[in-house]
Amino acid sequence: MSSLPMTDTSRHHSRPTVLVAEDHEDSRLLFKFFLESKGCRVVEAGDGLEAVMAVEREHPDLVLMDVSLPGLDGLSATRRLRERESLRALPVVIISGHAAAADRDEAVAAGCSEYLTKPLEMKQLAGVLERHVRPRAA
């Protein structure tokens, strides 16, 4: 998969936009490198509040949200996004180091679209792109 089509939520950019909300810079850079290689525009956030503000400003097609973010954690940030009617359909994929069923259940209750556990393989991330970044209606 060399590039991805844009979704209906991409308003100002020719490439799909993915917000990566991750407090570890190494992980953000890894995601950014991979996503850009797939034709995505990447916006970064280092904490949950920054992620919420970036969603409102950038209108991404997909959010990759770490659970353990400083300040406002990823689940709380997801809940805030889901409070807004216009953001309820935005795919928010939680990426967590916690693999317990209770953690997954809590993320689903917060409104996540999908829950992935670390360490994450890039083929899993490619699958997320295929499932959540859809072509614009003609």
Element housing 81 (H / E): helix 74-83
pLDDT given for residue 137 in this prediction: 38
Residue 62 in contact with residue 16, Cβ under 8 Å? yes
Instruction: Please list the ranges in the chain whose pLDDT falls under 50.
Output: 1-10, 136-138
For residue 128, the model assigns a pLDDT of 96
Architecture of the CATH domain 18-130? 3-Layer(aba) Sandwich (3.40)
The domains of the chain are located at 18-130
> Which pLDDT does position 1 carry in this prediction?
39
The pLDDT score that the predictor gives to residue 4 is 41
| Cα–Cα distance, 80 to 39 (Å, whole number) | 28
pLDDT of residue 14: 82
Predicted confidence at residue 48, as pLDDT, reads 97
Helix 48-58 vs helix 74-83: crossing angle, to nearest 10 = 30
What is the distance between the alpha carbons of residues 23 and 70, in angstroms, rounded to a whole number? 7
